[in-house]
Amino acid sequence: MISMTDEKPLLDVQNLKTYFYTEEGIVKAVDGVNFTVQQEEIFGLVGETGCGKSVTSLSIMSLVPPPGKIVDGKILYKGKDLLRLSKRQMTSIRGKELAMIFQDPMTSLDPVYTAGYQIAEPIIAHQGVSREEGWKEAVSMIGRVKISAPAETARAFPHQLSGGMRQRSMIAMMLSCHPSLLIADEPTTALDVTIQTQILALLKNLKEESGSSILLITHDLAVIAESCDRVGVMYNGKMVEIATVEDLFANPLHPYTKGLLGSIPTGTKGELMTIPGSVPKPIDPPAGCRFYPRCAQAMKTCENSAPAMVEIEKDHLVACHLYDI
Ligand SMILES: Nc1ncnc2c1ncn2[C@@H]1O[C@H](COP(=O)(O)OP(=O)(O)OP(=O)(O)O)[C@@H](O)[C@H]1O
Ligand SMILES: [Mg+2]
């Protein structure tokens, strides 16, 4: 069988380090993270609150707010390092090839413009079509995200739409640029379960139609199980395990992943809050494995030596001393 990761990746994040220089100290929010997103795959990023999922995605988009800084690493997109591009080059890639859906659509939709205007705007800017054509395309885009009265919705302002409609409008806005890579940061967290399922189906569907890749960020394992091809598990600024969805659920290797999977409450959303202890703020993180203070299987070596990520089986990587040979 040909493995997913044999192909040249669309996105290749190497040793990414993003730190926040705060008055309390240096917050090592993302500290040496590696992963790839392949062509036409949905890669899930999962982990408890504060582990660095959003900062990873903001780093890819070059949208890290101050006092944050990318201090090391490479973000190769189609083989080119995004960190070496000028502001202008990056802005142009961001509009055309990379798009991001935020958890709260109100942060991306402008309250003073209609949904249609905001969807039409990037179409007009990037495809050089007339206002009229841009508007027509926007209405058709709104229809594609399964909103039943597209023309009417196009004329509505964000506050006139429900949460689910706003989220769909934002997806329409992002997809109107036909991005190669769509980053969706908790796109369904604020929505009820039925609408959540519809939105995920929509993303999958549009991925298949347009051949784009999706980096899907969530702390909900049910969402991962339903939508993703491969998953990366993050803990406190580090990637601890990467596997196909099937492997991750059938054969989790890292004690943290095992804890997360054990903590799915049945029948409800998979909030990951039942491992004893909590994620420490990554100022002065432990010298060795960052999970060491909470790990039931910790050994002496884990205290001072940080485990490297190793490929244990094809496409299954883990960073844990239990698997040292
Ligand atoms: N602007 C900032 N200034 C200082 N620290 C920050 C800033 N933004 C994020 N951080 C810190 O970086 C770390 C990672 O945050 P991040 O938002 O990436 O977590 P997350 O995994 O997305 O969590 P959640 O699931 O709650 O969205 C946290 O410790 C957070 O406090
Ligand atoms: Mg986040």
Q: Which CATH number does the domain housing residue 45 bear?
A: 3.40.50.300
| For ligand 1, mutation pick of 51, 217, 234, 271 (most atoms within 8 Å of CB) | 51
Confidence (pTM):
0.88
Instruction: Confirm whether 102 is domain-assigned.
Output: no
CA distance 181 to 201: 17
Do 192 and 68 share a domain, yes or no? yes
Do 245 and 299 share a domain, yes or no? yes
Q: Measuring from atom 26 of ligand 1, which residue has the nearest CA?
A: 49
Instruction: Confirm whether 40 is domain-assigned.
Output: yes
| For ligand 1, mutation pick of 16, 19, 21, 54 (most atoms within 8 Å of CB) | 54
Q: How many whole angstroms from 195 Cα to the centroid of ligand 1?
A: 27
Instruction: Confirm whether 123 is domain-assigned.
Output: yes
* β partners of residue 10: none
Instruction: Confirm whether 41 is domain-assigned.
Output: yes
Sequence letter at residue 296: A
Last residue of a domain, one of 159, 178, 197: 178
Tokens of 132: 């009229």
Question: How many folded domains does the chain comprise?
Answer: 2
Q: How many whole angstroms from 54 Cα to the centroid of ligand 2?
A: 4
Q: Measuring from atom 16 of ligand 1, which residue has the nearest CA?
A: 52
Do 71 and 199 share a domain, yes or no? yes
Contacts of 274 (CB under 8 A, 6+ apart): 259, 262, 263, 265
Instruction: Confirm whether 214 is domain-assigned.
Output: yes
Instruction: Confirm whether 103 is domain-assigned.
Output: no
Do 79 and 217 share a domain, yes or no? yes
Tokens of 238: 């580090």
For 188-221, give one letter per residue: b (16+ CB within 10 A) or e. Answer: bebbeeebbbbbbebbbebbeeeebbbbbbbbbb
Could you tell me the residue range of the domain that residue 123 belongs to?
108-178
Do 73 and 122 share a domain, yes or no? no
Instruction: Confirm whether 299 is domain-assigned.
Output: yes
The per-residue pLDDT for 128 is 86
The per-residue pLDDT for 276 is 66
Instruction: Count Cβ atoms below 10 Å from residue 155 Cβ, excluding itself.
Output: 14
CA distance 246 to 261: 13
Cβ of 281 closer than 6 Å to ligand 1, yes or no, is yes
Do 19 and 78 share a domain, yes or no? yes
Residues of the chain with pLDDT under 50: 1-2, 265-273
The per-residue pLDDT for 268 is 43
Instruction: Confirm whether 233 is domain-assigned.
Output: yes
CA distance 120 to 32: 39
Tens of pLDDT, residues 197-218? 887 888 888 788 888 899 999 8
Do 28 and 60 share a domain, yes or no? yes
- Nearest 5 degrees, angle CA 41-CA 44-CA 47? 170
Last residue of a domain, one of 160, 178, 196: 178
CA distance 247 to 316: 8
Tens of pLDDT, residues 115-129? 999 999 888 887 889
Do 243 and 317 share a domain, yes or no? yes
Q: Tell me which residues have their CB within 5 A of the ion that is ligand 2.
A: 54
Please state the length of the chain.
325
Last residue of a domain, one of 129, 155, 178: 178
Q: Which atom of ligand 1 is nearest to the CA of 103?
A: 27
Do 165 and 187 share a domain, yes or no? no
| For ligand 1, mutation pick of 45, 53, 185, 279 (most atoms within 8 Å of CB) | 53
CA distance 133 to 234: 43
Do 21 and 84 share a domain, yes or no? yes
Classify residue 281 by its DSSP letter.
Answer: P
Tokens of 168: 């769909």
Do 124 and 170 share a domain, yes or no? yes
Question: Nearest 5°: phi and psi at 321?
Answer: -65, -15
Do 82 and 205 share a domain, yes or no? yes
